[in-house]
Structure 1
């Protein structure tokens, strides 16, 4: 099997299945695990994936996704090559597990897929009690774009013992105004900016954002960085994002126990 992976999450799923040796090319944003990906041909960035370069490598299967706005064009270009394509489009943890299962089956590794799913579930046990702490996940700073209702983020937050203040919105993600941030009243904000190295995350961009002074997370200076690799990629390393969220939630509860529990929305 000769495999090409477009999107970091698909690359990481293949490698977590123990099948990194089947990869013959990846997108330029696939950076993990480095021992596998650093020597592979890079076929363009996430939204500029080169379908002609993919076809030249003659893979048996291309793994792609619709997780980022603009991927529709990439998927169409890949399908036009006539090469078999698997398209992931998860909006929940269950969807992510289904994609892992499907990818594993495509690679004749069904048992490895079930083992990976079981290990992820074991690493993200549900936190007891009502998810009363409200945590917003910010994908981009200007304009402020947050995870909304059609996102696996809601499931990860719920397991960790929190809730997404924008979970009732229908989109996968959406820009928000200062007024919407105040009305949602997140207890904390997590910055997980897509395509930006965590070392370059700037907490002060949120703390000093005009109009956000009355947002509880800003007033209490509860703004935390978590790399997008651990929250924004629908794959095995979500367990690391879950662990970081648990730490934040426990810190909030220890710092201000009177703030919870309360009715969550």
Structure 2
């Protein structure tokens, strides 16, 4: 089988399945695992070069709707009669289901069961630890600083927060992502500030940019130096690597 992935989360699903050796091309933003870095690059996930996709003669393309604007990739695949499936996970359960969907599309049903069981087992293990933690800190997740974008209740980071033994301070807003402002965040007074700016490497985010916001010196998170600069690749992509992020978050909150 010759497989192409059109976004990082799909590539990471292939790795969790142990099937990256089937990949013959990936989008420009796929950066994990190391073994895929030598593969042909097909453009950014919103502007895939479908001529290159067609030239690689894939048996299956893993398309996605995880970012608005990806629809045109799917329309192009359909027009060219290139075989594809579409993944659009919004929750941890969706990610588990996508492991099954992908493996079954590759005619590997046994691989799908093993991967789904492994995913569920790791998740349940952390949930049990989180449930027995001594406190449930309030977490403010920042996807982007200005304007402020943060996840609401209909997002995997609310699930990740709860599984780690905390809670998303914006869990009362029934959206996957919402735009708000620094005053709103301040009024919710989180115990932790969790910074994972989409598309920005952790090393480029400076804590001073967070601390020096007007009035934020009054926040419990700032007073207690509970500002977590986190890897966006472990928290902002709907892939099985969220489990790595979840396990790390639990350690940071409770160890």
Structure-1 separation of matches of 2:79 and 2:222 = 47
Q: Pick from 127, 146, 149 the counterpart of residue 145 of structure 1.
A: 149
Structure-2 separation of matches of 1:65 and 1:173 = 18
Structure-2 separation of matches of 1:109 and 1:24 = 18
2:238 is aligned with 1:234:
yes
Secondary structure of the residue aligned to 2:46 is helix
- Give the match for residue 226 of structure 2: 222
Check the 8 A contact 2:221/2:227 in 1, yes or no: yes
Residues 1-265 of structure 1 aligned to structure 2 (within 5 Å): 1-35=1-35, 37-124=36-123, 125=125, 126=127, 127-129=130-132, 132-250=136-254
Question: What stretches of structure 1 of length at least 5 have no aligned partner?
Answer: 252-265
Check the 8 A contact 2:95/2:240 in 1, yes or no: no
Query: How big is the alpha-carbon RMSD for the aligned residues of Structure 1 and Structure 2?
Result: 1.9
Q: How many residues align?
A: 250
What is the TM-score with the length of structure 2 in the denominator? 0.90
Q: Give CA-to-partner distance per residue, 1:15-35, whole Å, 9 cap, x none.
A: 221211211100011111112
Tell me: CA distance 1:222–1:116, structure 2 relative to 1, closer, same or farther (3 Å): same
What is the TM-score with the length of structure 1 in the denominator? 0.86
Check the 8 A contact 1:198/1:226 in 2, yes or no: yes
Cα shift at 1:129: 4.4
Structure-2 separation of matches of 1:39 and 1:98 = 29
Cα shift at 1:211: 4.6
Tell me: CA distance 1:155–1:43, structure 2 relative to 1, closer, same or farther (3 Å): same
Cα shift at 1:163: 1.0
Secondary structure of the residue aligned to 1:21 is helix
Q: Give CA-to-partner distance per residue, 1:94-150, whole Å, 9 cap, x none.
A: 111111110010112222222222222322321224873111222222222111122
Cα shift at 1:192: 1.3
Q: Give CA-to-partner distance per residue, 1:54-83, whole Å, 9 cap, x none.
A: 122221211122222332333333333321
